[in-house]
Amino acid sequence: MSLKWCPAGSYQADDLIDICVKCPIGTFKPVDGAFSCIECTQGAYCSEIGTLKPQSCPNGTYQPNKGATSADACIICPLGTYKLYSGSQCYPCPTGRYCSEAGASTPHFCPPGTFQPKLNATSIDACLKCPIDTYQPYPGASTCKTCPQGFSCIDPAKTPLFLSLQINKIRSFY
């Protein structure tokens, strides 16, 4: 007997029987043909018989195994990690950011005037204030910039002021 041309979501279970069978739960088949069903991919699940395309796990979750049969197989990302799109793993929260919720889909940026040099930060408390004579005007920084010579860095969240402008401000105050 020859192989039968089965529609997407189904396959020929037995070469001797000319019948197409829907793909079982945990598998899928996206195209027509005589191919077998494919085990559901990591980061997704196949919860219905005859699945054409796997369902992605929601943002903030991951799924490391093949063949998952329900959204219950999707695992919430732990603190200090995030997951924006479906996949088999969560990513460490990058430097300059923190991930303060389990199931984070995007990291939070540390505010201007702070820096955060480590991976997997879990709170805004990990964002450290820039030391004296440094500044960082942008959010999400992993380091602070050194205040250039001839400038003043009074507010670490703002760009440095040229010293002569600062002196003129002081003079106009008195």
pLDDT tens by residue, 62-116: 999 999 999 999 999 999 999 998 788 999 999 999 999 999 999 999 999 999 9
DSSP run (H or E) holding 166: helix 163-173
Write the pLDDT tens digit of every residue in 15-71: 777 889 999 999 999 999 867 999 999 999 999 999 999 999 999 999 999 999 999
Contacts of 91 (CB under 8 A, 6+ apart): 81, 82, 83
For the chain, counts of helices (H) and of strands (E): 1, 18
Q: Which CATH class is domain 1-74?
A: mainly beta
Which pLDDT does position 171 carry in this prediction?
A: 47
**pLDDT at residue 3, rounded to an integer:** 65
Q: What integer pLDDT is reported at residue 34 of this predicted model?
A: 62
The pLDDT > 70 percentage for the chain reads 91
Beta carbons within 10 angstroms of residue 76's beta carbon: 16
Question: Could you state, in order of their start, the residue ranges of all structural domains in the chain?
Answer: 1-74
